[in-house]
């Protein structure tokens, strides 16, 4: 019997819906992507009129957050010129290391996937991603 | 005011939900992707345990159907050895030309996007894609 | 606490060692790759003097077998000209659909990864892959 | 009679095992890759729960170290803004120029391959890579 690799579709869709709700509350137009524990896409939504370039960025943020099990912005703090991870973005077919991607954990604290959000300021992107991740128990 | 390029998120999500419903009725595990009139991803869902390789294929089917405004299987009939479009699959970063991708039209018959489905036989993939496309008015 | 996505390193290394043993028995020079349930590389070995071009092929075989949870040769039977999956190889950054990749299951029959072998005839590649997969309980 | 291009599988596996031993001693979860004198992958291991994004990074570190026959961190010192090798990371399908990759030499001091390690701080990555390289005589 095939099974999900970490996060289920039902959980991923709940994360997307919670993120879209937060996006509408704060008046942004977002792209929202959720990947599983293997960094494979599980659910995605592009709000009408959201930046087209953020379709790819939201997916790369989700994968980056799962690849390293931390918020994407934490990596960006280390990948600056002179930083210990300078230009890590060249790996894995392209990483995005500014805020907007966060791991998704289950009730036991295990990482089961990640969410990536792109479409506004990085602060807003992060806020919306957090709202999405919080919807998964 | 930014606006959708053809299909809206609401319409795309309706197409995904109708496709998932059909998939469950016929007992398959599908990946379902919907792109807009610009061939950009709008909505996506991966059923628990569906083939991981079909995540990419479903998206390529959706784009292929919109790139040429016809069902993907119609292109596959022409891309065979000796055919007029032999190996067209090498273009556009990779096309998929077997059944499972169909254009989505609005009430006026205008193409506003496309849906791609992958996860079972190509006959089932096409059936589920048709069910998704039919949910958009 | 981080955990493996399906197959563990210990299991993957056992599969590689069993495959190398079989390769030596039948007098071939092989590349052997094992991926986890998320299609990510876990273990790899290249025998001295094995074809360099098979380093990539063995990894693509392993990923292809996990992407569709079946031996790679089963897909190749359908991707021929006129077949229902013609040119599926253009997806997922390149698939390999001739024999040599097989899923790896645990004792409960759940797919936990896959092994890909390349370096000789496809019959030998498949034989060595089977020997590797059989070493995982 | 085909032969290894520099490092043998036996030597590469000894390097991987020594690196894994060091990783366990210092309490990290690492990805370890060894390439030959032609910069082709010879052996690889991913510890259970190690970062998935480091699978690619460890291989890029190993290749980078062999491409230029020096520790990856030495290149990173020159690839900063204003440096003589600014953004060299764009070449060769993506380089990684922070510490964790080191050349592997034989008893005569000839470079026969390289090892790349990723999964912790760059200091730990480098320490583990050195331990791996030192296991090859």
Residue A34's DSSP bridge partners are A43, A115
Residue C110 sits at the chain B interface (C-beta within 8 Å) = no
Q: What is the pLDDT of residues D45-89, one digit of tens each?
A: 999 999 999 999 999 999 999 999 999 999 999 999 999 999 999
Is C113 at the interface with chain B, CB within 8 A? no
Search chain A and give the residue with CA nearest B51: A2
For residue C113, give both structure tokens.
Answer: 């990864």
Distance CA A105, CA A111 (A): 4
User: How would you label A15-52 residue by residue, b for 16+ Cβ within 10 Å and e otherwise?
Assistant: bbbbbbebbeeeebbbbbbbbbbbbbbbbbbbbbebbe
Give yes or no for residue D24 having a pLDDT over 90.
yes
Collapse the DSSP code of B51 into the 3-class scheme (helix H, G, I; strand E, B; otherwise coil) and give the result: coil
Q: How far, in Å, CA of A107 to CA of D49, rounded?
A: 18
Percent above pLDDT 70 for chain D: 99
At residue D49, the pLDDT reads 95
Q: What angle do CA A100, B58, B94 make, to 5 degrees?
A: 95
Q: Would you list the DSSP string of A62-100?
A: HHHHHHHTS-HHHHHTTSSTTSTTTTGGGSTT----SSS
pLDDT above 60 (res A1):
no
- Per-residue model confidence (pLDDT) at position B70: 97
Chains that touch C (3 or more CB pairs under 8 A): A, B, D
Question: Minimal Cα–Cα distance from C49 to chain B, Å?
Answer: 31
Name the average pLDDT for chain B. Answer: 96
What is the distance in angstroms between the Cα of A18 and the nearest Cα belonging to chain B?
Answer: 15
- Among C1, C3, C38, whose Cβ lies nearest the Cβ of A5? C38
As a whole number, mean pLDDT of residues A73-84 equals 96
Chain C residues whose beta carbon lies within 8 Å of the beta carbon of residue D29: 2
Residue D57's closest chain A neighbor by CA?
A: A91
Does chain D reach chain B with at least 3 CB pairs under 8 Å? no
Query: Between 3.40.50.720, 3.20.20.60, 3.30.450.150, 3.30.450.20, what CATH number should domain A9-134 receive?
Result: 3.30.450.150
ipTM: 0.95
What parts of chain C have a pLDDT lower than 50?
none
The tokens 């600056």 sit on which residue? Answer: A80
Structure tokens at C137: 């309980």
With CB atoms and an 8 Å threshold, state whether C110 touches A3. yes
Residues of C in contact with D9 (CB under 8 A): 45-48
Per-residue pLDDT averaged across A2-21, rounded?
A: 94
- Closest chain C residue to D20 measured between Cα atoms? C9
Closest chain C residue to A2, measured at CA: C110
Tell me if chain B has a CB within 8 Å of the CB of C108: no
Q: Does D52 touch chain A (CB under 8 A)?
A: yes
D86-93: long-range pairs with CB below 8 Å, 24+: D87/A87, D89/A87, D89/A90, D90/A90, D92/D63, D92/D64, D92/D67
Q: Would the CB atoms of A38 and B52 count as touching at under 8 Å?
A: yes
Helix (H) or strand (E) holding D116: strand D111-118
**Domain-by-domain residue ranges, chain B?**
9-134
Kindly indicate the confidence band of residue B115, based on its pLDDT and cuts at 50, 70 and 90: very high
Touching D: which chains, 3+ CB pairs < 8 A? A, C
Residues 3-42 of D with CB under 8 A from A: none
In sequence order, the 6+-apart residues with CB closer than 8 A to the CB of A119 are A23, A28, A29, A30, A31, A47, A50, A51, A54, A58, A125
Rounded distance between C-alpha atoms, residue C100 and residue C116, angstroms: 6
Residues of C in contact with A38 (CB under 8 A): 5, 36-40
Q: Which strand ranges, in their side-by-side order, compose the sheet holding B111-118?
A: A101-105, A111-118, A31-36, A41-46, B41-46, B31-36, B111-118, B101-105
Residue D120 near residue D28 (C-beta atoms within 8 A): yes
Indicate the residue of D54, D95, D122 with minimum beta-carbon distance to A90: D95
> Facing residues of B33 across strands?
B44, B116
Of D53, D79, D80, the CB nearest to A91: D53
Q: Do chains D and C touch (3 or more CB pairs under 8 A)?
A: yes
Please state the rounded mean pLDDT for residues A115-128: 98
For residues A24 and A120, give the distance between their C-alpha atoms in angstroms, rounded to a whole number: 12
User: Mean per-residue pLDDT for B73-91?
Assistant: 96
Contact D94 A91 (CB under 8 A): yes
Task: Report the pLDDT value the prediction gives residue D33, as an integer from 0 to 100.
Answer: 98
Q: Which chain D residues are within 8 Å of C3, Cβ to Cβ?
A: 48-49
**D95 inside 8 A of chain A by CB:** yes
Is A109 in the D-facing interface, judged by CB distances under 8 Å? no
Q: How far is CA C100 from the centre of its chain?
A: 6
pLDDT, mean of residues D30-39: 98
**Taking the mean position of all CA atoms in its chain, how far away is CA B55?**
11
Contact A5 C1 (CB under 8 A): no
Q: Select the residue from D31, D48, D52 to test the C interface by mutation, using most C Cβ atoms within 10 A.
A: D48
Is there a contact between C2 and A37 if contact means CB atoms under 8 Å apart?
no
Q: Nearest CB to B96: which of C63, C82, C91?
A: C91
Inform me whether the C-beta atom of residue A69 falls under 8 Å from chain D C-beta atoms.
Answer: yes
- Collapsing DSSP states into helix, strand and coil, what is residue C59? helix
For A137, counting Cβ atoms within 10 Å of its Cβ (0-12 exposed, 13-18 middle, 19+ buried), the class is exposed
Q: How many CA atoms lie within 13 A of D125 on its CB side?
A: 32
The answer, yes or no, to whether residue D128 has pLDDT greater than 60, is yes
Lookup: tokens for B50: 């569906």
Do B115 and B125 form a contact (C-beta atoms < 8 A)? no
Closest Cβ–Cβ partner in B56, B81, B90 for C81: B81
Test the B interface: residue of A44, A59, A93 with most B CBs within 10 Å:
A44
pTM of structure: 0.96
Q: What is the arithmetic mean of pLDDT over A60-88?
A: 97
The whole-angstrom separation of Cα B25 and Cα D130 is 57
Q: Is the Cβ pair C86, B95 closer than 8 Å? A: no
Residue A4 pLDDT:
83
Report the percent of chain B where pLDDT is more than 70. Answer: 99
Considering chain D, what is the average pLDDT of its residues?
97
* Both structure tokens of C98: 């001739």
Strands annotated E in chain B? 31-36, 41-46, 101-105, 111-118
| pLDDT, position C1 | 53
């Amino acid at each position: 019997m095939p099974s999900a690799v970490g996060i289920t579709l039902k959980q991923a869709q709940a994360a997307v819906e919670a993120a879209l709700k937060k996006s509408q509350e704060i008046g942004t137009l977002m792209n929202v992507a959720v990947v599983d524990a293997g960094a494979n896409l599980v659910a995605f939504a592009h709000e009408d009129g959201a930046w087209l370039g953020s379709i790819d960025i939201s997916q790369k943020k989700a994968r980056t957050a799962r690849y390293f099990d931390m918020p994407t912005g934490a990596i960006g703090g280390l990948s600056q010129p002179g930083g210990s991870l300078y230009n890590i973005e060249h790996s894995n077919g392209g990483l995005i290391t500014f805020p907007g991607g966060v791991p998704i954990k289950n009730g036991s604290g295990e990482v089961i996937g990640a969410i990536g959000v792109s479409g506004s300021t990085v602060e807003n992107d992060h806020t919306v991603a957090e709202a999405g991740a919080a919807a998964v128990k």
